[in-house]
Amino acid sequence: MTQFRPLPQDRPARIAVLDDYMGVAHRLAPWAQLAGKAEVEFLTEALPQDPDAAAARLQGYDAICLLRERSAMPGELLRRLPGLKAIAATGRQNRTLDQAAADDLGIAVMTTTGSGNGVYATVELAWGLIIALMRHIPEECAGMREGAWQTRLGNALYGRSIGLVGLGKLGTRMALIARAFGMEVLAWSPNLTPERAEAAGARYLPKAELLRTADVVSLHLVLGPTTRGILGAVDLAQMKPGAILINTARGPLVDTPALVDALRDGPLRGAGIDVYDHEPLPADAPIRRQPNALITPHLGYSVQETFEAFYGETVENLESWLAGAPIRLATQGEPRE
């Protein structure tokens, strides 16, 4: 059994809530319940990418709270934080947290079980991007503000096809909504079978055929060694002329320079992108300057319902840790009570 680093005895614990970009965490959970036992700070700036700067920023905190995988916690960084005693992570798994290193160092890692409306919210955002691109909503809105009237002709979704790359929980919900729009649903992933696709209301196609056929291609895969760069330059070149690409999953699933080329030189008509190789997205990133890219700042699961669920359980986890009996402990990425 892991021996955790002891709590401070002569002062309140210092806790940092990381990556609170919108400055909303303080009002979405009963943090006041920790008063007297802990001092909580809400950090609205992203953790520095430089390891030295990141370690310096986190010195002095007894516990940190992570919002999903916004801030990576590799073993190299954890080993440079001798005062860190607990991590309150949100979500059931965190693939950018070195759980083995945390266990070795005696850092208690607690997870959450609920996600609010995160799954639904991400799918809803994907459809928002699809509809906005198909009907040129951002451009028409901008034109209206400048006094213009009807400048572009859009397309209906009815009768068109969507290709889902990934047919898990989110992909299956995408298929359900696509059928409501009257679209043909195609699907592919490295491990998908025709039988599983049919059970989810989709028609299985090999990747190249799906890319050549679909009017909309939407990614819903987990990022891992076998899926990183799963859409590269060759794949993007195979897409149907005039198609749109949607990525609300993970940025590195797509070769970003190749995506910019495909938007600029064809065959893509547009792309709706919510996730990036590096987040927050650098100000000079080429995708920011691509006029047919509809880009959003990783809004997928970022809705009030999700954050309330995440931070509510985070406060519960911190209370249990401060009482000396941490709950929802994770080992090697798997949560346990």
Q: Given the residues 279, 305, 308, 319, select the one marked as catalytic.
A: 279
**CA–CA dist 257, 236 (Å, integer):** 11
Q: What are phi and psi of 75, to 5 degrees?
A: -55, -35
- Who contacts 102 (Cβ-Cβ below 8 Å, separation ≥6)? 73, 78, 87, 109
Strands 63-66, 13-17: pairing is parallel
Nearest to 228 by CA among 60, 90, 333, 95: 95
**DSSP-H helix ranges across the chain:** 51-58, 75-78, 99-105, 118-134, 137-145, 169-180, 194-199, 207-213, 233-238, 256-265, 304-322
Cβ atoms 189, 167 nearer than 8 A: yes
Q: Given the residues 136, 220, 250, 328, select the one marked as catalytic.
A: 250
Cβ atoms 241, 217 nearer than 8 A: no
Q: Given the residues 173, 220, 298, 328, select the one marked as catalytic.
A: 298
Active site residue 250: yes
**CA–CA dist 34, 115 (Å, integer):** 22
**CA–CA dist 130, 120 (Å, integer):** 15
Active site residue 298: yes
Residues carrying an active site annotation? 250, 279, 298
